[in-house]
Amino acid sequence: MSQQNRELKRKLSKRKNFLIGLLVFLIAAIIFAGYWRASQRQILETEKYTDPVSVQFYFFKDTGFLEVDDFTASDLNCDPGTKMNSYQSLTKQPMTISASYVQTQTETIDTLISGHYYEDWSLLSDGMDDTFTSVSAISRDNVNKKNFLLQAAQYCGETQTELQAQKTTYAGLNTASAGEITLDKIATMNTGYIYPYITQYEQGASQAMLGQLDLNLLKDLDSLGSDQTAGIKSVSNDHLYAVCVVDDTVSVQGEEGMKKLKDTNAQGMSDDDYYEYLVSRVDMLRQYPELSFEYNKKSYTAYFVNEKTEEGKKIIVLMIKDKIADFVTDDKHSATLNVQSFNAWIVPQSAIIRQDGKTYLRTEEKGYFTEQIEVTVDRYDGGKAVLKKADNSGLKNGLTIKVFP
The tens digit of pLDDT for each residue in 206-216 reads 999 999 999 99
Q: What letter represents residue 350's amino acid?
A: S
Q: Identify the pLDDT of residue 15.
A: 63
Which tens digits make up the pLDDT trace of 114-146? Answer: 999 999 999 999 999 888 765 455 556 678 899
Burial state string for 302-320 with b = 16 or more CB within 10 A and e = fewer than 16: bbbbbbeeeeebbbbbbbb
Which tens digits make up the pLDDT trace of 244-296? Answer: 999 999 999 999 999 999 999 999 899 999 999 999 999 999 999 999 999 99
Q: Identify the pLDDT of residue 375.
A: 94
What are the φ/ψ torsions at residue 304 (nearest 5 degrees)? -90, 105
Q: Identify the pLDDT of residue 66.
A: 93
Q: End-to-end alpha-carbon separation of the chain, Å?
A: 58
d(CA 198, CA 220): 18
pLDDT above 90: percentage of residues in the chain: 72
pTM of the full structure: 0.83
- What distance lies between CA 332 and its chain's CA centroid? 12
Q: Identify the pLDDT of residue 5.
A: 57
Arithmetic mean of pLDDT, 38-51: 84
Q: Identify the pLDDT of residue 221.
A: 94
Q: Tally Cβ neighbours within 10 Å of residue 278.
A: 22
Q: Tally Cβ neighbours within 10 Å of residue 173.
A: 19
Flag the least confident range among 28-42, 105-119, 144-158, 299-313: 28-42
Which tens digits make up the pLDDT trace of 323-354? Answer: 999 999 999 999 999 999 999 999 999 999 99
Arithmetic mean of pLDDT, 362-368: 77
The answer to whether 95 and 68 have CB atoms below 8 angstroms apart is: yes
Q: Identify the pLDDT of residue 370.
A: 79
pLDDT band at 187 (very low <50, low <70, confident <90, very high): confident
DSSP at 328: T
Residue 188 has pLDDT above 90, yes or no: no
Residue 38 has pLDDT above 50, yes or no: no
